[in-house]
Amino acid sequence: MTSILPRGVSDASFNQALSEFRAIVGNSAVLNSDEDRQSYIDPYAMGDGKDHDSSAIIAPASTEEVQAIVRAANKYKVALWPVSRGKNLGYGTASPAEAGNVILDLSRMDKILDVNEKYAHCLLEPGVGFYDLFYHLQEKKLPLWMSVPGNSWGSVIGNALDRGIGYTPYGDHCEQICGMEVVMPDGEVIRTGMGAMANSTTWQNYKYGYGPSWDQMFMQSNFGIVTKAGVWLQPEPEMTAKVDLAFAKFEDAEWAIDILADLRRRDVIQHNIVFGTPVRAASTMSQRADWYEGEGAIPDSVCEEMMKKLGLGWWNARISLHGHEGVVKANADIIRKALEPKMGKELEFQFWAKGEPMEKAAQGVPTTMGLNCVNWYGGRGGHLGFSPVLSADGKIAFDYAKKVKSLYQEVGQDYYASFTIGRRHINNVGLILYDRDDETTLNRAKKLIDMLLKEAASRGFAEYRSHISYMDAIGDTYDYGNHALRRLNNKVKAALDPNNIIAPGRNGIGSRK
Amino acid sequence: MKKKPSFSHMGWMLTPVALIALVAGCSKENSAPVPEAKAQPKISAITTATFGRDSKDEGERLFGKECAFCHVGTSTGSFMLNRRLPDDQKGNADLNKRSDLEADYVKAVARNGLVNMPAFSKIEISDEDLDKIANYLARKKP
């Protein structure tokens, strides 16, 4: 029996809604037992995760079923929390921001509808995972490459809609979306961009269409449910090169970020660059207890021992180059000239040319290795991302890194950061690791997030993405004009979704206190 | 560890073979170092990502789709499990090679999760498909 109800919905009314849902998708695609709801609780929640419990799960198999569900949800005023595959790990996984929402699990909509080799684009349903698309490209021997995020278990579309990040030239995932099909809160289906023309032949070729371009409206939002989207893929290059960089000193961040950001801005480096601390690297392949078992933050001396043993620096980056042979070799030379004099050693690029074994190529291959980080403190581990956007400037980033490291030390947390360096910005992706069953690590994590929120906001930095527990708090930091943007978002929300049935509270929009 | 790994080999994602050898050297003093040979066998990330996908055995194919990316070769599940295996079993963490798995145990872990492994819902893997995966993992190994 369901022990939690959608907000403002009576038991009787909810039972009627569930009956209608079952009539739409079949009995086996509506779940509401305690055991089934438990399987959707965030496995990395801070604590037991019940504060974000759902009232039921419904899993449609088609756009038409999504439309019918949305209409029924309006009738009974049952809020839905759409997830593509429900693997937004570190941000709440499949759990809703507002407890009691019905999770709309789109993972059964898992068709790869089209892959076009010539134009290097595909059309996907939201249930298609990175592994599914990767296998499809391998199986069909298509010379098309994907960008993958650090943890690739999730949905290609879902990750792009939350503006996830990869580390090859197509790594700005939301930028690769071209054309969407969206079920609106009233049940109507729209197609964005060129897809707004019924017999369009260019839906995945040109993003903007005619008049306003709406695709961004459906990212990190709750204005509709994306049921198909076009994704641009990378044509296999003639050559790649990769090199791992380890910067020996903490202070190296200042000059290294300036050089790397300049190379990025000029497209010598064509991808956003991860620039991370030793704990970030070590947590993907070892546990804290392998290095240190003391209280408080791991001391610098232990980090330095870790760096020596693992061949790391205080900052670690992987650069890859993609393109025609002449371009790749020329860009490798430019990078050598920019970095070798400062680093005092030769850079050893690993080159791959078309036809050589793919293992050597700087291709995005889906992986979950990054998830090892949840085991850092041992026990049932968890992680939560806190990632403000900074300008791509060495001094600004280094000053912030010093301050944040001191805040981690103050609360006794091991400093974990990466600066994902773009052309003009940095996503300072910080993970806060904890043991879900250890109150001390949980309280420390919560205290640290509050401190980081204040610190980032005081410097004019705001987050690029949010965990479900912090959606309002992060929305609060976007405060220009006494939260004018929130008022606009809420006006749009009220106009499109007067019953607030799609993901209330997503990114601070339509939150109900 | 006999030889210092080359700079280009080192990065934020070391191979587990290299890693375990490295970590072994700095473990707690009273714990025995893990010999390099006992680490998980190294296979390519592409093999891990696509394991079993074109298998004729339906159980293996489903295992490939739902589990292998974490439980075969250079991946998270195998890596975490290998840490927990007793010394004489190190290197045998891949689920498809284990000979001690019972079908009911596999199903219970998949439905409830275990330590850092998330649970799988009935939407993600139906009871029928989970039976096939569990039977595949519990099969008699040659």
Give the global pTM: 0.93
Find residues 67-126 of chain A whose CB sits inside 8 Å of chain B: 86, 89, 93, 105, 107-108
Local confidence pLDDT in tens for the 142 residues of chain B: 333 333 333 333 334 444 444 444 343 333 333 444 456 667 899 999 999 999 999 999 999 999 999 999 988 999 999 998 899 888 899 999 999 999 999 999 999 999 999 999 999 999 999 999 999 999 987 6
Contacts of B65 in chain A (CB under 8 A): 131-132
pLDDT at A324: 98
Interface touch B75/A368, C-beta < 8 Å: yes
| Contact in structure between A498 and A423 (CB atoms under 8 Å) | no
Contacts of B14 in chain A (CB under 8 A): 285, 310-311
| CB of A365 less than 8 A from some CB of B | yes
Letter string b/e over residues A321-340, b meaning 16 or more CB atoms within 10 A of that residue's CB: bbbeeebbbebbeebeebbe
| Contact in structure between B103 and A309 (CB atoms under 8 Å) | no
Contacts of A107 in chain B (CB under 8 A): 123-124
Q: Is the pLDDT of residue A384 over 70?
A: yes
Tokens encoding A131? 């592994």
3-state secondary structure of A144: strand
Interface touch B45/A316, C-beta < 8 Å: no
Interface touch A246/B7, C-beta < 8 Å: yes
**Residues A411-470: tens digit of each pLDDT:** 999 999 999 999 999 999 988 999 999 999 999 999 999 999 999 999 999 999 999 999
3-state secondary structure of A207: coil
Q: How many helices (H) and strands (E) does chain A have?
A: 13, 19
Tokens encoding A213? 């371009």
Find residues 186-215 of chain A whose CB sits inside 8 Å of chain B: none
Contacts of B50 in chain A (CB under 8 A): 131, 134-135, 138
pLDDT at B35: 41
Q: Can you tell me the distance from the alpha carbon of A303 to that of A311, in angstroms, rounded to the nearest whole number?
A: 12
Interface touch A290/B54, C-beta < 8 Å: no
Nearest alpha-carbon partner for A39 in B77, B71, B117, B106: B117
Q: Is the pLDDT of residue A63 over 90?
A: yes
Q: Which of A96-105, A186-195, A229-238, A285-294 has the lowest mean pLDDT?
A: A285-294
| CB of A323 less than 8 A from some CB of B | no
pLDDT at B43: 85
- Nearest-Cα distance to chain A for B141, in Å, is 27
Q: In which residue are the tokens 């809420």 written?
A: A490
Q: For A120-127, what is the mean pLDDT?
A: 98
DSSP-derived secondary structure letter, A303: H
Q: Which of A78-87, A202-211, A324-333, B24-33 has the lowest mean pLDDT?
A: B24-33
Find residues 430-469 of chain A whose CB sits inside 8 Å of chain B: none
The angle subtended at Cα B68 by Cα B66 and Cα B71, nearest 5°, is 120
Secondary structure (H, E, C), chain B: CCCCCCHHHCCCCCCHHHHHHHHHCCCCCCCCCCCHHHCCCCCCHHHHHHCCCCCCCHHHHHHHHHCHHHHCCCCHHHHHHHHHCCHHHCCCCCHHHCCCCCHHHHHHHHHHCECCECCCCCCCCCHHHHHHHHHHHHCCCC
| CB of B8 less than 8 A from some CB of A | yes
Half-sphere exposure of A358 (CA within 13 A, CB side): 14
Closest chain A residue to the Cα of B70, Cα to Cα:
A368
Q: Which of A191-205, A308-322, A430-444, B30-44 has the lowest mean pLDDT?
A: B30-44
Q: For A272-282, what is the mean pLDDT?
A: 95
pLDDT at B39: 66
**Residues A326-366: tens digit of each pLDDT:** 999 999 999 999 999 999 999 999 999 999 999 999 999 99
Find residues 90-129 of chain B whose CB sits inside 8 Å of chain A: 111, 113, 115-124, 126
Q: Can you tell me the distance from the alpha carbon of A233 to that of A142, in angstroms, rounded to the nearest whole number?
A: 11
- Nearest-Cα distance to chain B for A432, in Å, is 16
Q: Which of A310-324, A367-381, A390-404 has the lowest mean pLDDT?
A: A367-381
**Residues A246-256: tens digit of each pLDDT:** 999 999 999 99
| Contact in structure between A98 and A505 (CB atoms under 8 Å) | yes
- φ and ψ of A139, to 5 deg: -60, -40
| CB of A51 less than 8 A from some CB of B | no
Tokens encoding B106? 């596999």
Instruction: Report residue A385's pLDDT band, with 50, 70 and 90 as the boundaries.
Output: confident
| CB of A292 less than 8 A from some CB of B | no
- φ and ψ of A385, to 5 deg: -90, 140
pLDDT at B24: 40
The Cα-based distances of A251 to A314, A452, B125 in angstroms read 9, 21, 49
The ipTM, to two decimals, is 0.94
Q: Is the pLDDT of residue A172 over 80?
A: yes
- Altogether, the residues listed in chain B come to a count of 142
Please give the domain boundaries of chain A with CATH numbers for all domains. 11-107+497-508 (3.30.43.10), 112-235 (3.30.465.10), 239-353+368-470 (3.40.462.10)
Nearest alpha-carbon partner for A106 in A123, A129, A89, A122: A129
Secondary structure (H, E, C), A71-135: HHHHHHCCCEEEECCCCCCCCCCCCCCCCCCEEEEHHHCCCEEEEECCCCEEEECCCCEHHHHHH
- Nearest-Cα distance to chain B for A247, in Å, is 11
Interface touch B12/A290, C-beta < 8 Å: no
| Contact in structure between B13 and A365 (CB atoms under 8 Å) | no
Cα dihedral angle (A100, A44, B79, B131), rounded to 10 degrees?
Answer: -20
CATH code at B15-138: 1.10.760.10
Interface touch B70/A368, C-beta < 8 Å: yes
